[in-house]
Amino acid sequence: MGDRTYLKLTIHGHIPSLDAYNGITSAISQENLEPCLGGSLGGEFLRAILDQDNPEFEHHECNYADISSVEAVLQMHKVAYHISHGDGAEYGAQCRSWTPEGDLFEEDTDYHGDPTIGLSDLIRARDNAAKEGYTFEAWVLARVDAMEKASGKGLPSFTMADEASAQFAKRIAKAALGLKAA
């Protein structure tokens, strides 16, 4: 079984094709992630398209806060995302974001899910700044920037390629009408 915790995935990037969409939804389904607002997997993407919002998925008992298979598919298709998770027996709460440029930002979070800087880190940075060649203020600014990136600020909005959106809309319409999907 392993150590289990709450995990939330927010998709921020551009899904470039129907094949990418299929791969992403398959990976999300295999990891047992569910839409945060309830409903179906496809329904969450439709909601995000209609509301011009980001699709959000959660798992209430994610094993070791690990959805690396979903992350691998998102990264393969260069789709930006943000993940936050609670703490477990062997790890603390964290958030991380990945950009299409390949940048990964990770930070520890507090019980509200907000990135934090520990007091011991602040004291160590203050005490070591001069001998390590930086100012304390520059260190704090760099950490705040990293925390904002890890929390998903600045990530692109969710979009789908026109072709993928059109095919997606056709599938949903056929399903709603009870017709066999092509």
pLDDT in tens, 136-182: 999 889 888 888 888 888 888 898 888 777 777 777 777 778 776 55
- Pick from 134, 137, 147, 136: nearest CA to 82: 147
User: pLDDT tens digits for 12-27?
Assistant: 989 998 899 999 999 9
In what helix (H) or strand (E) does residue 81 lie, and over which residues does it extend? strand 81-85
60/41 Cα distance (integer angstroms)? 16
pTM of the shown model: 0.81
pLDDT bracket for residue 77 (50, 70, 90): very high
Tell me if 79 sits within 8 A of 100, measured CB to CB: yes
